[in-house]
Amino acid sequence: MIDIAATPFPYPFAPGKTALVIIDMQRDFVEPGGFGASLGNDVTLLHTAIGPIASLLAAWRARGWAVVHTRESHQADLSDCPPAKRLRGSPTLRIGEPGTMGRLLIRGEPGTSIIPALAPQAGEIVIDKPGKGMFWATGLHERLQALGITHLVFTGVTTEVCVQTSMREANDRGYDCLLVEDATESYFPEFKAAALAMIAAQGAIVGWHAPSGAVLSGLANV
């Protein structure tokens, strides 16, 4: 085990048993005309996370460690999209309606793809998830167990929605989870700060958080 400098105390990193998780770095969330923009958000707020995620991804690939990419997405007939999700609120476009990058959050449409800077490579796990959390209706837990994964390092968007939901699901399944501070972003800076604080409170009740620099320097000799 390697101790990574983290909040609220050092994170016990397990080399070879720690998957890098990249949540929903899709065009639909980070580019204009997609799902995130349809909800009234400024998508440029998410762009600062791309560089740190790319650095972590390169570090994992160099060591041959497991990488998980997720995509929030639905089947073309919307059979896996509950009306409670599709009909809530007053977005400019709803899930499944056509935008400038195809039908919003529908599998196979251009907007649902992961941005080119972080595109998955052969051998990496790619999960299409109908919910905010990455374990709901995906079979991911079984795949991680088969690989002997016990620890998860989280990145991606948005911090307090799909990242936090996935991290809470993972914590309940027994994984030790670290959220990388500069490799996650929110449309609401105050929500990102609150999510980081509540995750690490009460003795890491959900998990740890640390900057990408601390993770990369902790791995320097591994």
Q: Is there binding between residue 31 and ligand TIU (CB under 6 A)?
A: no
Instruction: Output the smallest distance, CB 32 to ligand TIU, in A.
Output: 15
Q: CB count, 10 Å around CB of 48?
A: 12
Tell me the H-state helices in 121-211: 140-146, 164-172, 189-204
Q: CB count, 10 Å around CB of 86?
A: 16
Q: Is there binding between residue 158 and ligand TIU (CB under 6 A)?
A: yes
129 is catalytic: yes
Residue numbers 116-145 binding ligand TIU by CB under 6 A: 132
One character per residue 68-87, x = contact with ligand TIU (rule: CB under 6 A)? ----x---------------
Pairing state of beta strands 18-23 and 67-72? parallel
Q: Is there binding between residue 208 and ligand TIU (CB under 6 A)?
A: no
112 burial type by CB count under 10 A (0-12 exposed, 13-18 middle, 19+ buried): buried
Return the DSSP state at 163: I
Residue (72 or 181) nearer to ligand TIU, CB: 72
Q: Are 170 and 135 in contact (CB under 8 A)?
A: yes
Instruction: Output the smallest distance, CB 159 to ligand TIU, in A.
Output: 8
Q: Are 112 and 71 in contact (CB under 8 A)?
A: yes
d(CA 148, CA 210): 24
One character per residue 185-204, x = contact with ligand TIU (rule: CB under 6 A)? --x-----------------
Please select the residue that binds ligand TIU; options are 2, 5, 39, 93, rule is CB under 6 A.
39
Instruction: Output the smallest distance, CB 15 to ligand TIU, in A.
Output: 29
Select the span of 49-57, 88-96, 153-161, 206-214 touching ligand TIU (CB under 6 A): 153-161
d(CA 9, CA 117): 32
Contacting residues toward ligand TIU, per CB under 6 A:
24, 29, 39, 72, 132, 157-158, 161-162, 187
State the catalytic residues.
24, 129, 162
